[in-house]
Structure 1
């Protein structure tokens, strides 16, 4: 009978770190997504608080504002992965969120003197700051999460996405209608960001050995479970770029994340337009129907999390089976429902809402299904992997509206929309199929701390062995030459 492992207190510092990441993601999404409400309030004051300035911006100008965040966001994902390995997660995440909070606080001022152009500019800068954060999150989880608890802590952390979506929608609307008006949305967002920075500064640590609050039992439990060298936290592990880019499991992860973003961006950004044009529904004016899919997504995230915990703890499935099953549910069901939505008429609006809610709700399984796979492949380089994946995946929401604009010439033509939904379904299906075939949930050889040194040694031995026959041949030729010379002179 084996002795029970002492994991420390029921709520330890590893749980505190996961909760801080949850709050971090929620905070970032509130700052990122409040722009939808703000743009409406800024261009139609009667819908919120008419006591604040109103601007006459065109649809094109409003679309620039809505997308400008991602112009900056896509360019610092990779940088964030590198910086947190070089300077530590705590510092990079702090400045990423603090910078985002400053941008929120300055937004009303910028709009006042530069209107929509300045609004775009400050959103781009906010995107640059927030782009640093997500790669840090995965590196932090890799250093704080024992392998047996990784799904639980990682899954709980990432439910901040759904919480942020719902919070941004409800909080922003209520604030804009209050006496604070649309400027209050930015001020509250910045206040939440600064509050998080204070909590992070006090309680966060780059790794368990640097935490001021962790107990000996929990420290030993985490560090012994991760199985790395004693001086691991004091050195920067060299990045095996070639091995990463030639790794089939990593490339499968890259493909599936890009596929997911294509399908989800279609669900989130284009379905409301379809329902408005084809089904004659104004989803944006109905707060309940707008929030319903995200509420379903938030609830389903916990369903996935709890069932995953039970299945893994009772050894009913392997991690690989769990991830691929969850990801298949999150991809294949929306692939079918998207096509189904395209065949519904105006008389079947309720079915359309139901299918949209199901599609978005079940898609939350992709967090446990594939998002956390970066840590499976490499604990040491999780931030780098996430930086690469997020850079590629966040180009997709920029491309999706362009394809829609090219295909859908008449917003009320259902057949044109069916093409869009079929394209998204193909991305969902093919992306997950590639993940099922080539995706892996085991630590890759190139994760080893001394991987590059070992490869260099192996290369040196190979070169030496390849040179040996040449040296022997050269020696034989010299000896033959001497023998011939002696024979001639004799």
Structure 2
């Protein structure tokens, strides 16, 4: 059975793609904005600028993740309670409201108010990815999971391209840095409108899906239709003990944390590095800051095609594909990062090439490890994403602060070398653990009746133990009676 070439499952993936794009505009535009907000030569002279030092700028870049890590579990729980549709809407609309507040509150409250707003924005966006993984698990047939999941997640790279490029151009234009936040708010609200119209928690709840596509999705997922109607996924009890003692899950947790370290170092610090070490102005900074993410977006499609060929032709299993691609996307960027730290303003071209290679090749991490939560447990994908994302997004709290401690002079190449070498080592170690201990198959605790079977097994074990205990007592009693009978015979 095959589904339509283009159907509602593709519409949902496209909506997720744009959800990531617009949220990333709110998430990462601060790395460009703080450069414009602290340098009057690179923004509109009629718009106020601020004398923030490197540590204060690091607090601003870090503050988003203060709120972000607090709502990962909340996002997974809300998806199970209300569904991904409402949760993703609340996440994105709340982020839009926070974006529009920045130009009004920062002139009044300084960098501290910027941190507070960014923290609240992070709290709203923290619910996004648990919702996305729950939504993909509901909509993606297993054989299309790699393709649809990876294509949806290319929004990460495209969102970074748009953010770096457009934010730099806006900051250098007549509307200056406040325009960065007006645009971010506008696109997020626009997405919310489309999502309310076309978004649906499950294929069965979609108003636009064809009967053929509905049958295709449900049949390919080997789901019993009557069971699905009677028992929604959010009603399946969560086997917390089994999840929290799962080695494959904690391996994924580790590799996502190490990926986050390298990615957040680059995403947050590329504009400052290009301005300080490579001596680029705002307009060229905007173009070249976006270029690595353009490469990443293009290479993401290359990885999707490569994974599809390897899987459909039976060359590699999904386990082999994920470990191979994640190794390429971790170890090669580690090498390029080390090389990047030894270049200066006389080698701008080579530095940009290495940044493009480092960020671009890392695009494979989506197929390599990001989608691994759905492999381990389609039924609890949102919960797993909440656990993994809590760790993965706790790391970006640290990276800007670490950079702020190490880089006292943004023009000092030697200080940036230390930053890049630390990231390279972390990249390498995390993937090594993933290759050794990672798994890409559904875990026993994913089954809807796992806890019931476990309970029945305990009851059976306890029953057998009770029978053995009764039998043992009976044997002891018989032995005692026999012993007393023998003693009476002896006396007689």
Q: Shared fold (TM-score greater than 0.5)?
A: yes
Q: Cα 1:287–1:113, aligned 2, differ >3 Å: closer, same or farther?
A: closer
Give a deviation string over 1:114-141, Cα, whole Å, max 9, x none: 2322222121111100001111101100
Residue aligning to 1:422: 421
Residue aligning to 1:461: 460
CA contact (8 A) 1:44 1:54 kept: yes
Residue aligning to 1:47: 42
Q: 1:98 aligns with which of 93, 100, 104?
A: 93
Give a deviation string over 1:180-238, Cα, whole Å, max 9, x none: 44333222221211111111111111100111110111001101111234333633111
Q: 1:65 aligns with which of 49, 60, 66?
A: 60
- Cα separation, 2, equivalents of 1:269 and 1:35: 8
CA contact (8 A) 2:61 2:400 kept: no
Does 2:78 align with 1:83? yes
TM score, norm. by length of structure 1: 0.91
The alpha-carbon deviation at position 297 of structure 1 amounts to 0.9
Number of residue pairs the alignment of both structures matches: 484
CA contact (8 A) 1:61 1:116 kept: yes
Residue aligning to 2:195: 200
Residue aligning to 1:381: 380
Q: 1:140 aligns with which of 113, 135, 139?
A: 135
SS in 2 for 1:74: helix
- Cα separation, 1, equivalents of 2:288 and 2:203: 43
Q: Cα 1:62–1:407, aligned 2, differ >3 Å: closer, same or farther?
A: closer
Residue aligning to 1:223: 218
Q: Cα 1:274–1:16, aligned 2, differ >3 Å: closer, same or farther?
A: closer
SS in 2 for 1:206: coil
Q: Cα 1:259–1:56, aligned 2, differ >3 Å: closer, same or farther?
A: closer
CA contact (8 A) 2:64 2:118 kept: yes
TM score, norm. by length of structure 2: 0.90
- Cα separation, 2, equivalents of 1:329 and 1:22: 24
Q: Cα 1:32–1:418, aligned 2, differ >3 Å: closer, same or farther?
A: closer
Give a deviation string over 1:14-69, Cα, whole Å, max 9, x none: 00000000010001001112223333444445533233344444443333222211
Residue aligning to 1:439: 438
More off after superposition, 279-288 vs 63-72: 279-288
The alpha-carbon deviation at position 154 of structure 1 amounts to 0.7
The alpha-carbon deviation at position 401 of structure 1 amounts to 3.9
The alpha-carbon deviation at position 383 of structure 1 amounts to 0.7
Residue aligning to 1:7: 3
The alpha-carbon deviation at position 409 of structure 1 amounts to 6.4
Give a deviation string over 1:227-280, Cα, whole Å, max 9, x none: 234333633111111211222222221111111112223334456666666x55
CA contact (8 A) 1:26 1:163 kept: yes
- Cα separation, 1, equivalents of 2:67 and 2:438: 30
Aligned Cα root-mean-square deviation (Å): 2.6
Residue aligning to 1:26: 21
Residue aligning to 2:317: 318
- Cα separation, 2, equivalents of 1:47 and 1:414: 22
Give a deviation string over 1:310-365, Cα, whole Å, max 9, x none: 33233333222221111111011112222223444665443222222111110001
Residue aligning to 1:35: 30
- Cα separation, 2, equivalents of 1:151 and 1:412: 42
Does 2:124 align with 1:129? yes
- Cα separation, 2, equivalents of 1:47 and 1:405: 22
CA contact (8 A) 2:157 2:296 kept: yes
CA contact (8 A) 2:278 2:344 kept: no
